[in-house]
Amino acid sequence: MALLEAEQVVMRFGGVVALDNASVDVDPGEVTGLIGPNGAGKTTLFNVVTGLLPPTSGTVKFDGVDITRAGVSRRSQMGIARTFQKLEAFNTLSAFDNVRVAVEKNHRAKWKHQRVNDVAHEMLGKVGLDDVADVTVGTLPTGSARLVELARALACRPRVLLLDEPSSGLNEDETTAIGQLLLGLVADKDNDLAVLLVEHDMSFVMGVCARIHVLDFGKIIAVGTPIEVQGNEAVRAAYLGGDEFRAGYVGVGE
């Protein structure tokens, strides 16, 4: 059974159908990709999964439990965490304090045997930001601020981690490092972690994802391995014949 399942999700905004019977499943121990052209409905699906938007119809299940009408806080407590396409950091706080906020919120339930400060430093270390722990996030480069947001999400000790454009603003070395981090996190059996990734960097997607769902005009048009998706004619058509789906990627997981 998939750890996270969105089944036949419909999302209408007035006369606009943003999601049209879209289904996505995410397994523990894997990074699953969700890709598609701009406006395909990817972030809308994320918002449905995390409880920010109630779907017009369809269901969301977490570990076999229907959470379609559960609130954001309840889903967070169960183990769903996310980052955002538009940065949602506390810009007037340091990188350390941004992460500490999440540790404190989850300390009693998830980190009770570890000191709050130790966990916050550990999460910053995971994303390679030990040296900017005391720097105000609003003064950091976009790529570094995005890594702070990832560290804060990891501080929630999630079972499902949803990442919306995590490589945006990162340089090549940072992108490679975050890909290796994600692969290490899902490979660690103690984490029992599933990752759902929305991303436009196709080299990154093809290098880290075990399976990929392709969304176009609110519909899932393909599901498969990176090789299968690259060879899918419907996917190429959705990207206007996109050369980015030709074989030959050297991904961070290779």
Q: How far apart are CA 214 and CA 232, in angstroms?
A: 10
pLDDT recorded at residue 248:
36
Query: Which parts of the chain have pLDDT scores under 50?
Result: 243-254
Residue whose structure tokens are 């340089």: 171
pLDDT recorded at residue 42:
94
**Domain ranges (residues) in the chain:** 1-79+158-254, 86-157
pLDDT tens for residues 165-194? Answer: 888 888 888 889 889 989 999 998 877 899
Specify the DSSP element, H or E, that contains 24.
Answer: strand 16-26
pLDDT recorded at residue 108:
59
pLDDT recorded at residue 240:
53
- Residue at 175: amino acid letter: T
Closest CA to 81 of 55, 62, 94, 95: 62
SS3 content of the chain, % helix, strand, coil (to 5): 40, 25, 35
Q: What is the CATH number of domain 1-79+158-254?
A: 3.40.50.300
Q: Answer yes or no: are the C-beta atoms of 12 and 28 closer than 8 Å.
A: no
pLDDT recorded at residue 246:
45
Q: How far apart are CA 137 and CA 148, in angstroms?
A: 8
pLDDT recorded at residue 50:
93
Triad 99, 4, 12: Cα angle to 5°: 95
Q: First-to-last CA distance in the chain?
A: 27
What single DSSP character describes residue 94?
B
- Residue at 73: amino acid letter: S
Q: Answer yes or no: are the C-beta atoms of 235 and 221 closer than 8 Å.
A: yes
pLDDT recorded at residue 32:
97
Burial 32-55 (b: 16+ CB within 10 A, else e): bbbbbeeebbbbbbbbbbbbebeb
Closest CA to 179 of 150, 212, 149: 150
